[in-house]
């Protein structure tokens, strides 16, 4: 066997690396990294979208208050916003499971997280275990404000229903004043846990009226100002 035949045999046994094959391999790795980065960005945008929507929905729950002066921080509205955010995450993911979001592990994690979040929010809403005296009244003030709005602006024709609605509006105004006073008194002096303490700090005799336009301060500016001025709950402020 001559030298040329020996070289050909060695080349057949140990072929030289294919430059095109190495180049394609590098491109495949780059494409895989790019695809993974794009997928991570998609899920990040999904999370930001759900979080932003939840915050916006929390703010929108105050838009049916009669006056921006009646806006108070409400734990109940936080629970409802979280419940709606969890439901939105499940619905959106279900519609786009195989189209935009294809990572099964991440998808299952989102589903489980949304179920836990929604279930926890629903439990806290139904049980009210975290609601104390002040939290209760601060949540009830905007709730009463809704009753004033509907009672005064509904297109009521029946005289009896009109009298009922006016009575409701007047009662809600009176109770809002009482709750504002009680919140301030409890913050300054603590809760009155005995009848003697309650008798020593009686609630003033406030008056309420129907069709009062003085407290109907409502505009986009007043609404945003009231929301931005909402204080954090005591539990968060102490941390």
pLDDT digits (tens, 9 = 90+) for 200-219: 999 998 877 666 554 555 66
Residue 37 pLDDT level (bands cut at 50, 70, 90): confident
Name, in order, each residue with C-beta under 8 angstroms of 179's C-beta and a sequence gap of 6 or more.
137, 138, 140, 141, 144
> What pLDDT, on the 0 to 100 scale, is given for residue 102?
81
Task: Give me the count of residues in the chain.
Answer: 239
Q: What is the mean pLDDT of the chain?
A: 83
Cα–Cα distance measured from residue 88 to residue 65, given in angstroms and rounded to the nearest whole number: 24
Q: What is the mean pLDDT of residues 30-50?
A: 79
DSSP secondary structure string for all residues of 154-174: S----HHHHHHHHHHHHHHHH
Query: In 3D, which of 90, 118, 100, 115 has the Cα closest to residue 44?
Result: 100
Output the CA torsion sign for 80, 228, 142, 212.
negative
pLDDT digits (tens, 9 = 90+) for 45-87: 999 999 999 999 999 999 889 988 899 999 999 999 999 999 9
């Amino acid at each position: 066997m001559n030298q040329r035949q020996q070289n050909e045999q060695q080349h057949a046994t140990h072929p030289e690396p294919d430059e095109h094959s190495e180049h394609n391999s590098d491109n495949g790795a780059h494409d895989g990294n790019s695809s993974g980065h794009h997928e991570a960005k998609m899920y990040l945008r999904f999370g930001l979208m759900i979080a932003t929507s939840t915050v916006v929905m929390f703010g929108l729950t105050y838009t049916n208050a009669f006056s921006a002066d009646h806006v108070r921080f409400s734990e109940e509205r936080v629970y409802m916003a979280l419940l709606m955010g969890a439901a939105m995450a499940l619905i959106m993911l279900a519609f786009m499971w195989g189209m935009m979001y294809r990572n099964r592990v991440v998808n299952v994690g989102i589903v489980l997280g949304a179920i836990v979040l929604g279930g926890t929010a629903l439990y806290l809403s139904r049980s009210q275990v975290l609601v104390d005296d002040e939290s209760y009244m601060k949540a009830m003030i905007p709730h009463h404000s809704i009753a004033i709005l509907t009672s005064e602006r509904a297109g009521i024709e029946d005289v009896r229903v009109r009298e009922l609605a006016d009575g409701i509006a007047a009662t809600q105004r009176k109770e809002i004043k009482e709750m504002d006073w009680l919140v301030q008194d409890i913050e300054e002096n603590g809760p009155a846990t005995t009848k003697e303490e309650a008798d020593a700090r009686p609630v003033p005799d406030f008056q309420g009226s129907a069709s009062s336009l003085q407290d109907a301060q409502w505009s986009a500016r007043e609404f945003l100002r009231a929301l931005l001025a909402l204080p954090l709950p005591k539990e968060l402020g102490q941390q």
